[in-house]
Structure 1
Amino acid sequence: MKIASLLGVLLPLTMSAATAAEDVVTKELTPTGKLRAGLAYAPVKTPVFVTKDASGQVEGVGLDLAKTLARSLGVEVEVFVAATTGELTDASAAGKIDIGFTPVDDERKQRVDFSPPFFIIESTYLVTAASGISTQADVDRPEVTVAGIAGSTTIRAAGRTLKRAKIVALKSVADAMAMMQAGSAQALALSRDAMPALQKTLPGSRVLDGAYQVTGVAMSVPKNKPAALAFVTRFMEKAKTDGTVRRALDAAGLQDLAVAPSAN
């Protein structure tokens, strides 16, 4: 009888604590009642970038992961589309979005918090046929102009490693490719996974071997939201092991890309 009485007291307390914890997650992760998901747009799908179909609807890895997260929270997704991952970091830091999908670097870690990575990117260069560039070292010449995306981890890393080349930060991948196609830039700084599709639009171009940066792509949340961070951390580790990330990559036509290793 004493045990039964004790259980009668403890069970409601346990349930109450669990409900309170869920309420904190909901308050931190979906303060508006919806999951505001920040996604960066580009002409080609990658683990970082989404695209739009003929009707203008967004599709891609980040959206699929956001929808799965939203279902686990019992809410709808509200999509926030930006031209660059830098804009997503700004939006997250300002509390305009609840989650974002971006590569990770030290500068971003100062402004937002991150889940474990779901994909590992290598930053490299796409170079024009007329550039005469064949190695990473060849890029760092005074006569070389490198196009990159403003506010991105790739252009920041290029800035740290290139001492003589001219670096031009542009608003979007499309703007950077236009500069390459016009011959105004000889190299494009971006992640390797984005290169094959872009290379097709630039005859004679080649992707350089090696990488000047290797980092993870992860889900970001605003700072000072520990319950939200803990929740997306658990979500991402589970998503990597239960096939959620794999299905999102496959659906985007990225079957050849590997899911980041689990921390467990």
Structure 2
Amino acid sequence: MKLRKVTAASAAVLALAVAATACGSSKSDGGSSGGGNKIKIGIKYDQPGIGLKEPNGSFSGFDVDVATYVAGKLGYKPSQIEWVETKSADRENALARGDVKFIAASYSITDERKQKVDFAGPYLLAHQDLLVKANSTISKGTDLNGRNLCSVTGSTSAQNVQKKIAPKANLKENSGYSECIASLQSGAVDAVTTDDSILAGYAAQDKYKGQFKLAGLKLSNENYGIGVKKGDSATLKKINDALASMVSDGTWKTDVEKNFGPANYKYEPAPKIGVIVK
């Protein structure tokens, strides 16, 4: 009887150890397979039509839809996605630290950024533009000389305007686009510059309808890519395959029209994987 009691106790200890191991094996960093794991994906929280955290805690926008589709191809259900806010100035660091598996956050592919991260895509071609008040007389970039221009810290948009067309524009930088739009509404700045897709999303919001307009300038080509940690070639290939599938099965077009259609945004055709429009 004594031997049987020891054996039973040992079995109980073993069962508890197995259970503890199973609980401890759950990952939250986004491995390459699904199962019971979580995947962390970087997005923007303040860009209507692109990446927006809604008041009820849900997320919407084209980047959110693209990331959800890609995650599905990697083996993750929507419930397994953990969305992480990645602001423009912190995107490269977030990938280097391993905070997220990949980033889909209106992330334009540039030679400088490619030194620090690898990019899948592109999956959208946008153009830099200006958002101004509906009654503004600003119709071209040079009209910004001596006026206040707002953009987000870490973005290349404002520097592009100053370098190419309006060197005397007064640059005002904020941590997010929402702050820039609020400054435009109050008159603290005369224009906000970033990608037309982002600006169109703001202009289409109910609280801003009729207040703003796009200047209609194609100041640059912005090739949106999905950022992954430098050297992670396996994830890069899987994401590129997922993006190609999204275009071929019609999901890409459906999601573009769903997110940008209300703003009458004239989007470009889906770009080819690996082809950067200069």
With structure 1 as the length reference, what TM-score do the two structures score? Answer: 0.76
1:85 Cα deviation after fit: 3.2
Please say which structure displays the higher CA radius of gyration: 2
Distance 1:28 1:198, change over 3 A: closer
Tell me the amino acid that sits aligned with residue 272 of structure 2. Answer: S
Q: 1:182 to 1:28 in 2, by over 3 A?
A: same
Aligned positions, number = 232
3-state SS of 1:148 partner: strand
* Kept after mapping to 2: 8 A contact 1:40/1:88: no
The DSSP-based 3-state class of the residue aligned with 1:74 is: coil
CA gap of 1:205–1:62, structure 2 versus 1, over 3 A, is: closer
Q: State the AA in 2 paired with 1:153.
A: T
Alpha-carbon displacement from aligned partner over 1:209-230 (angstroms, at most 9, x marks no partner):
3222112111110101111112
Query: Residue in 2 aligned with 1:179?
Result: 183
Q: Distance in 1 between matches of 2:248 and 2:89?
A: 29
Which residue in the other structure is 2:215 paired with?
208
Aligned partner of 2:70: which letter? L
Return 182-191 or 60-69, whichever deviates more: 60-69
In the alignment, the residues of structure 2 paired with residue 235 and residue 157 of structure 1 have an alpha-carbon distance, to the nearest angstrom, of: 32
Deviations 1:56-96 (A, max 9, x none): 211222222222222222233221123x3333333123221
Residue in structure 1 matched with residue 140 of structure 2 by the alignment: 135
Distance 1:158 1:107, change over 3 A: farther
Percent sequence identity over aligned pairs: 21
In 2, Cα distance between equivalents of 1:167 and 1:157 = 11
Q: Which of these residues, 109, 127, 131, is aligned with residue 114 of structure 2?
A: 109
Does structure 2 retain, via aligned residues, the 8 Å contact 1:103–1:153?
A: no
Q: 1:19 matched to which residue of 2?
A: none
Amino acid at match of 1:38: G
CA apart distance, 1:169:
1.3
SS at match of 1:151: coil
Query: Gapped runs of 5+ residues in structure 1?
Result: 1-25
| Match of residue 41 from structure 1 | 45
| Match of residue 125 from structure 1 | 130
Higher mean displacement: 109-118 or 54-63 = 54-63
Query: 2:246 & 2:148 partners in 1: Cα distance?
Result: 40
Separation of aligned partners in 2, 1:203 and 1:250: 21
Q: What's the RMSD between the two structures over aligned residues?
A: 2.7
| 1:123 to partner: Cα distance | 0.3
Task: Determine the structure 1 residue equivalent to 2:147.
Answer: 144
Change over 3 Å in CA distance of 1:156–1:77 after alignment to 2: farther
The residue aligned with 2:163 is 160
> Is 1:28–1:225's contact at 8 Å kept on the other side of the alignment?
no
Instruction: Using the TM superposition, give the Cα deviation of residue 259 of structure 1 relative to its aligned residue in structure 2, in angstroms.
Output: 4.1
SS in 2 for 1:138: helix
Q: Distance in 1 between matches of 2:184 and 2:163?
A: 22
Q: 1:74 to 1:216 in 2, by over 3 A?
A: same
Distance 1:91 1:230 in 2: 20
Structure 1: distance between partners of 2:186 and 2:113: 32
Answering whether residue 100 of structure 2 is matched by residue 97 of structure 1, we say yes
